[in-house]
Amino acid sequence: MKKLFIQSIGILVLSAATSCAPSYFGKTYSPTQNVDVYFDAADVKREHEVMGTTDVGQGFNSLNAVQQKVIELGKAQGADGVIMKLTEEVTGSQKSDFGNVKNGSKNNTYSGSSITTNTKIKKVLATFIKYK
């Protein structure tokens, strides 16, 4: 029983650690020591190829932490540069309806409205590049 409990804890810790790891789709090269950071593809003046992409949004306390994670991922995948774009994704919404009734001498009138609130998360979309 104790062994099963320890294994369960180990699986939970492993899943928590990997849930923050961004997924990468693309080519991999030898790791690099420096990754140039761009925020617009037009700013990249050197000839390059797109080697892969990732998106990161959940599991981080700040956008600075996300940026650092993307840079580290780029180094590990062998990127020379990364183009980052900040986006917001709507993950849900909530609608609240409200109104009131006024009693008149001849008839009653109702006025109402609603407010929709979207739940959003910030995401960083990253495109990794390799200089030619």
The residue type found at 47 is E
Tokens (6 digits) for 117: 């609130």
Query: pLDDT truncated to tens, each residue of the chain (132 aa)?
Result: 544 444 444 444 333 444 456 799 999 999 999 999 999 999 999 999 999 999 987 777 888 889 999 999 999 999 999 999 998 877 888 888 877 877 766 777 777 888 888 888 888 999 999 999
Query: In this structure, what are the phi and psi dihedrals at residue 95, rounded to the nearest 5 degrees?
Result: -110, 130
Q: According to the model, what pLDDT value does residue 4 have?
A: 44
Q: How far apart are CA 58 and CA 99, in angstroms?
A: 37
Candidates 68, 56, 77; CA nearest to 121 is: 56
Q: According to the model, what pLDDT value does residue 61 have?
A: 81
- Domain ranges in the chain are 23-131
Q: According to the model, what pLDDT value does residue 67 have?
A: 93
Candidates 81, 32, 31, 21; CA nearest to 55 is: 21
Q: According to the model, what pLDDT value does residue 20 have?
A: 57
Give yes or no for a contact between 96 and 117, defined as CB atoms under 8 angstroms apart: yes
Q: According to the model, what pLDDT value does residue 34 have?
A: 97
